[in-house]
Amino acid sequence: MLELSEISKSFGGVKALDMVSFGLKQGQILGLIGPNGAGKTTLFNVISGIALPDHGQVHFQDKKITGLPSHKIAGLRIFRTFQNLSIFSEMTVIENLLVGNHLKGRAGLFSAILKAPWERREEKLIRDRAHDSLREIGLEKSAQLTASSLPFGKLRLLELGRALAAEPKLLLLDEPAAGLNQKETFELSEFLAGLRKKEITIIVIEHDMSLVMEISDRVVVLDQGRKIAEGAPREIQQDPAVLTAYLGEENWLKTLKKKNA
């Protein structure tokens, strides 16, 4: 359903992405890994329309989406979360979820001002849906709290819930486990496993190797903007190129070896 072909993107003289290509089938979960600065987030920015690639095309459901503004890409039901959270921190939890349902409505500024009947109907639908999402992520009790008053783990959950509220076909998760403790990470992996049943296609950037290896159908490895490996989690763990790329980042190497053992 998603096809990246020869994506390149430079910032100044630095090649953040260099001829990256891969594809993704409906319902798959793809792990995107690589050392810091490998270009993973840049790739997300390209897919979600925040950054324009210098070269290459992104196709989604056989339609070219390169160069579309991000809200149009969201309109195709491609949603994402951000590495350093993008919660609307001065809005309440429920308001964040209501904004997540933005695309469920069509009424414009004028209908909103006049509170037209169709706007009211829409609003009711959106409210019902937001409350469903609230239950899904288990934050009912915090509905009216300002988002900034929530602990970090809950905010990650809220951001995820907000993206899910929009019923994504493709979901891009940028380090969903970063900053979470072990218990929260475990809950997250359960949650993501649950998404698999809903046939949502997911690309996940993650540094927590055990999480990536557990949930991914396939893994793509980036290093300095290039794709250096692609395959099933088991293959990736034994790929010499991958091991070399991670050399020097000892912890990662250890994690990988531990998984292999």
Partner 1 sequence: MKRDWMLLLLLAAAVLALPNFITSPYYFSVLIFVAINGIVVLGLTLLMGYAGQISLGHAGFFGLGAYFSMIFTVHLHLNPWLAMALGLAATVVIAFLLGMPTLRLHGHYLAMATLGLGVVLQIIFKEEIAITGGPSGTSGIPYLKAFGIEFSNDHKFYYLAWIFVLVLFGLSINLIHSRIGRALRAISQNQTAAGSLGIPVDRLKLSVFALSAGYASLAGSLYAHYFTFINPSPFGFMASVKLVAMVVVGGSVSLWGALLGAALLTSLPEFLTVLQDYEMVVYGAILILVMMFAPRGLAGIIAKIFQYLGLGAKEENARAV
Determine how β-strand 78-80 pairs with β-strand 170-174.
Answer: parallel
CA separation for the pair 156, 61 (Å, rounded)? 28
Tell me the two tokens of residue 250.
């000892």
CA separation for the pair 256, 241 (Å, rounded)? 13
Question: What single-letter amino acid sits at 172?
Answer: L
Size of the site for partner 1 (CB under 8 A): 42
Q: How far is the CB of 94 from partner 1 (least distance, A)?
A: 10
CB 80 within 8 A of CB 35: no
Tell me which residues in 57-86 interact with partner 1 (CB under 8 A). Answer: 69-71, 74-75, 79-80, 82, 86
Q: How far is the CB of 71 from partner 1 (least distance, A)?
A: 5
Q: Which is nearer to partner 1, 96 or 237 (CB)?
A: 96
Q: Which is nearer to partner 1, 145 or 253 (CB)?
A: 145
Question: In this chain, which of 8, 21, 61, 92 binds partner 1, going by CB under 8 A?
Answer: 92
Please tell me whether residue 103 binds partner 1 under the rule CB under 8 A. Answer: yes
Q: Which is nearer to partner 1, 160 or 209 (CB)?
A: 160
Contacts of 28 (CB under 8 A, 6+ apart): 201, 202, 217, 218
Residue 161, classified by CB atoms within 10 Å of its CB into exposed (0-12), middle (13-18) or buried (19+), is: buried
Question: In this chain, which of 28, 48, 189, 201 binds partner 1, going by CB under 8 A?
Answer: 48
Please tell me whether residue 207 binds partner 1 under the rule CB under 8 A. Answer: no
Question: In this chain, which of 6, 11, 67, 114 binds partner 1, going by CB under 8 A?
Answer: 114
Q: Which is nearer to partner 1, 82 or 252 (CB)?
A: 82
Residue 211: half-sphere exposure toward Cβ, Cα within 13 Å: 25
Q: Which is nearer to partner 1, 62 or 90 (CB)?
A: 90
Q: How far is the CB of 53 from partner 1 (least distance, A)?
A: 17
Question: In this chain, which of 123, 167, 214, 230 binds partner 1, going by CB under 8 A?
Answer: 123
Q: Which x/- pattern, by CB under 8 A, does the window 140-169 give for partner 1? A: ----xxx---------------xx--x---
CB 159 within 8 A of CB 85: yes
Contacts of 170 (CB under 8 A, 6+ apart): 1, 2, 24, 60, 77, 78, 79, 200, 201, 202, 203
Contacts of 86 (CB under 8 A, 6+ apart): 159
Q: Which residues lie near partner 1 (CB under 8 A)? A: 48-50, 69-71, 74-75, 79-80, 82, 86-92, 95, 98-100, 102-103, 105, 107-109, 112-115, 119, 122-123, 126, 144-146, 162-163, 166
